[in-house]
Structure 1
Amino acid sequence: MATHPKASPARVVEQHRSGYIVSDGPDQSFPVESLPEWQRPPGFRKGTVTIDQRPGVGDWVLVEGRKAVALLPRHSTIKRAAAGEHYQQQLIAANVDTVFVVCGLDADFNPRRIERYLLLVRGGGVEPVVVLTKADQAQDVTDALASLVELAAQDVAVRAVNAKDAESILVLAPWLQPGRTAVLVGSSGAGKSTLTNTLLGIEKMKTSAVREHDSRGRHTTTHRALIPLPSGACLIDTPGMRELKPTGEEDVAENFSDVEALADQCKFRDCHHEREPGCAVRGAIEAGKLDPQRFANYLKLRDEVAGAANKLANRRAQKADEKVQGKALNKRLDEKYGRH
């Protein structure tokens, strides 16, 4: 704060194109203008700031009057690769302690999607908790929990709740203590807004019914927002995300430690887990000890992360090359025109 002696810290509770809504107290929020470079959309032109330099919901910034003038260091981030052909990263939330991965126990229940969410969030320095909503509508909660048994072995908590019942969601209290921040992620219709309303004790967030044939919902939450809870915690609700592209920085081994442990037992070190003799992975699948769909998802996500990592490396090399070229150009201009 030495460079901004008159500034005070505030937290970003909403992000908009031309500025932010920030808060410096539980019931005090106000709009602020942002630095010009923060207003440019990612990839707008060469030299634009990255998501590591531009504030997002959950960030702490320094505010002077009605202007945000500096981004303070983060202790965690949740991000994904943005849609499109060119490699870009999109910030979902910053400075969070817990990610609630929300999935409904209805026709939209999908263990593979949960695995994808966990891959994206576990590398951000936060604790994931899988929240299975609509437990009151589920025909067999036990079977759903059994399909996620691998997560318990990886110390990922799984809780089934009725998001409309205040008593049912008390199981989430350990992650919503005073001073903590949690973010809700999940597909549209999973019950994120309903869960938010129940935690608040009021109908603050708009909700809507899901489609009958597949239990998918429409986007009722249109933007990310940080909301203070009566417990003293903060909650960030997010719009449903239909596309979850890895950034290339994820650790597949951490999220599929059971598969990796089996692979270490294969007879051949370069085993592709197809028809090789002594393949422990195939042996576990045939013995019913490893879900073949989980293994297929492991292979799919491993390839996606490898591809994204390659794009990220190329992007960084391009940026480094542009920086070198820029310095060389400035040097030639200085020599030609005698600039200092």
Structure 2
Amino acid sequence: MYELKSLGFNNFFSEQIQATPYEIGRVATSANGIYKLLSSKGEFLSQVSGKFRHLAEKSRDFPCVGDWVLFEPLIGEPKGVIHSVLTRNSLLSRHVAGEKNEEQLMAANVDTVFLVNALNQDFNLRRMERYLMQVYESGASPVFVLTKRDLCSNLEEKVQAVEEIALGVPIIPVDALHNDGVEAIQALIKEGQTVSLLGSSGVGKSTLVNRLIGKETQKTQDIREEDAKGRHTTTHRELFLLEKGGVIIDTPGMRELQLWSGEEAASETFKDIETLADQCKFRDCHHEQEPGCAIKIAIENGELSSERYKSYVKLQREAKFLALKDKYGTHRASRIQGQAFRKQNG
């Protein structure tokens, strides 16, 4: 039995429900069309109804971990039938690997995303920008968690580097293995709030989840000595309740992150560059050879790194391509973007 409030149920969701014969549940796991639901009546392994499946048109129409659903318990057994998904207040998703124009749902109704990155040799600012862009696109709030601080000899330098790419975003260095800094993360998780962990494979997410939950629920493995990369351990998305209040959703580590959409998210992630662009002498400045280009001046003065600007250009191009692909398809989108590139570069 679970209290809906402790699972994260609030006015945003209750206002969507009129009189209904169904129960309210939250998706804790999802695999092969089977959803484990947590509810005030207990846990139920459920499937969507035939009508639901018939009306669903795309992947985001189906439930994912973190979703609130209305379901019908079956008599005499801990199973149920899902009839509808409540409107989400946030959604973490990405483009599936490969050429298919398909969205992969990761977690729904998340308030805060802990972007977990290691402070060892795997430290990568460009990857962090990509993850940050994904969080802004989801509607959740980001927090950077920098793990393996015990393996870092230049902590202040790396924290400052993250501050420069994530203006105003909280940054928490931790050594989860020895429980150092975990209290600062716990302080950000309140009763009824949902947090999710996002990061590459082997950055220490499973160790951190175990510390937050207070028991070994996720398997962990040591990092490889030859390249300081961790081994992937989490194999599926799962929702856990924390003893001190709050809900946490762990997600498998990713080898790559292909964005699903996000021109607006790119603007949010690179506010500093967009502010500089507004100061250029010419409104249609391409930031290449034009006189009075504020971005060129900032790079020359050392106020902006050329690597960060290149990352901005790359992610902007990727976001625009995704928007074109969604509208016209891959082939035509490639042609349109190619024509624009050639026109811009003479």
TM-score range, shorter chain: 0.7 to 0.9
Cα shift readout 1:280-330 (whole Å, capped 9, x = no counterpart): 111111111101111110011010001001112236xxxxxxxxxxxxxxx
Match of 1:117 among 131, 139, 142: 131
2:45 paired residue number: 31
1:327 paired residue number: none
Contact kept? 2:46, 2:81, Cα under 8 Å: yes
Contact kept? 2:263, 2:316, Cα under 8 Å: no
1:233 paired residue number: 246
Q: What is the identity, as a one-letter code, of the residue corresponding to 1:13?
A: A
What percentage of aligned pairs have identical amino acids? 42
Moved over 6 A (4+): 1-4, 37-40
Contact kept? 1:189, 1:215, Cα under 8 Å: no
Matched, 1:308 2:316: no
Distance in 2, matches of 1:107 and 1:187, equals 13
Contact kept? 2:263, 2:320, Cα under 8 Å: no
1:83 paired residue number: 97
**Correspondences of 1:175-194 after superposition (within 5 Å):** 175-194=188-207
Distance in 2, matches of 1:269 and 1:225, equals 47
The CA RMSD over aligned residues, in Å, is: 2.3
Cα shift readout 1:244-264 (whole Å, capped 9, x = no counterpart): 112223421111010111111
Change (3 A) 1:173 1:269: same
Distance in 1, matches of 2:277 and 2:17, equals 53
Contact kept? 1:13, 1:227, Cα under 8 Å: yes
1:321 paired residue number: none
**Correspondences of 1:145-164 after superposition (within 5 Å):** 145-151=159-165, 154-164=167-177
Match of 2:299 among 261, 280, 285: 285
Q: Residue 151 of structure 1: CA displacement?
A: 4.1
Structure 2 unaligned runs (5+)? Answer: 1-15, 74-79, 330-346
Change (3 A) 1:314 1:173: same
1:57 paired residue number: 65
Match of 1:244 among 254, 257, 264: 257
Change (3 A) 1:2 1:81: closer
Distance in 2, matches of 1:227 and 1:2, equals 25
Contact kept? 2:146, 2:174, Cα under 8 Å: yes
**Correspondences of 1:183-332 after superposition (within 5 Å):** 183-251=196-264, 252-314=266-328
Change (3 A) 1:250 1:183: farther
Distance in 2, matches of 1:296 and 1:193, equals 32
Q: What is the identity, as a one-letter code, of the residue corresponding to 2:146?
A: L
2:181 paired residue number: 168
Q: TM-score, normalised by structure 2?
A: 0.83
1:331 paired residue number: none
Distance in 2, matches of 1:79 and 1:92, equals 5
Change (3 A) 1:302 1:58: same
Q: What is the identity, as a one-letter code, of the residue corresponding to 2:119?
A: L
Which deviates more from structure 2 when the two are superposed, residues 208-217 or residues 104-113?
A: 208-217
Cα shift readout 1:171-215 (whole Å, capped 9, x = no counterpart): 113421110000100001111000000111111100112222322
Q: Residue 68 of structure 1: CA displacement?
A: 1.6
Distance in 1, matches of 2:279 and 2:18, equals 56
**Correspondences of 1:87-102 after superposition (within 5 Å):** 87-102=101-116
Distance in 2, matches of 1:224 and 1:247, equals 19
Q: TM-score, normalised by structure 1?
A: 0.85
Structure 1 unaligned runs (5+)? Answer: 41-46, 316-340
Q: How many residues align?
A: 309
Distance in 2, matches of 1:38 and 1:276, equals 56
